[in-house]
């Protein structure tokens, strides 16, 4: 574990389980940010986040994250 991530709790997946998920296409070896960007392009009107009564589409999520990044 590196110094920068030593405080991040995580559990390593068993290799056999990880291989099975990859073989079925569940894991593609891409970062979460890439998965979200793809979904924002494919279905911008689809619901991405539900928090109580508030709902955000993938398009709204993309626009909001772009504003924060600027």
Please report the pLDDT score of residue 11 as a whole number.
78
Please report the pLDDT score of residue 27 as a whole number.
84
DSSP for 1-57, please give it.
Answer: --GGGTTS---PPPHHHHHHHHHTTS--S--HHHHHHHHHHH-TTSEEEEETTEEEE
Rounded Cα distance between 46 and 11, Å, is 31
pTM across the whole model: 0.62
Please report the pLDDT score of residue 13 as a whole number.
83
| Ranges of the chain whose pLDDT falls below 50 | 1
Please report the pLDDT score of residue 5 as a whole number.
63
């Amino acid at each position: 574990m590196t110094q920068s991530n030593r405080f991040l709790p995580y559990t390593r997946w068993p290799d056999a389980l990880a291989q099975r998920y990859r073989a079925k296409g569940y894991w593609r070896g891409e970062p979460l940010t890439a998965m979200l960007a793809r979904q924002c392009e494919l279905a911008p009107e689809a619901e991405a986040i539900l928090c109580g009564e508030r709902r955000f589409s993938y398009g709204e999520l993309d626009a909001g994250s772009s504003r924060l990044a600027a």
